[in-house]
Structure 1
């Protein structure tokens, strides 16, 4: 009698712990996150700057690649940064000039807080950012952590050269940096 009683108690516990038949199963957790949506174009209406985006990586010396200087109106997205709309700073680079022509970011220094930056993405969506800071700094003082470091929200960084041109080095001495947060 005792083994039968133990078996009945065990079956009762199992039956009590099972979910009723009409209770929906919990939703499965996604095993993999969705891939980021590739950015296709950038538009900064306040300075009439609009360009498609090429993907940029790293040079052999581990510096960030820039768009082709012989195509100064071409901007690029640093593909090792978050895609625009993801948490973190999406990095967009463009030339101030090149090939004896003005570049896509020729007027970037004119951008002001509150200006809008829009990024068109491969899924047809547009992500809008509001500029909250613009600065010109010597390249020797480039704020790497502030530009490339993690953020808790989607942000954007627009980067170009600026300031005085050093003919001996064939390079500008400064960078123009634009910081934007996701527009609400």
Structure 2
């Protein structure tokens, strides 16, 4: 199927309309973005000052314009190089840091496991010792030193041969303060 001259011109016209609509939408987007950054009144005053400067000093204005025109591309290329280098080194630093943190965690995790186990073992033995001591405290009788006539409980006497007479053993129930 061959295209006729009419079909070619119609396709070109459609392409132009598409390009024109794309350019107008891009232009309106740029204007909206620029309006959100810089107010139109400030932009208009900058245009007016630039226009008056160009009218009053055309040689200096053309010199500055050519300098900006020819220097803008190298400056933009340098800035893109500097930024890409910065982000590359930043990314490399993050990767380097993550690698060595991972290596260090290979030592940290077993060390924490061992120290946590030791801590649980010490805590358990301390708790067991406390429970045994409390049990002994509850079940042990109050003691009186042999040969001593001073006893802590009333009505208790020690005979001359060291035997107990009317010994009353008191059990202490006030251990809540120890807990």
Q: TM-score, normalised by structure 2?
A: 0.24
Q: Report the structure, 1 or 2, having the larger strand content.
A: 1
Structure with greater proportional helix content: 2
TM-score (norm 1): 0.23
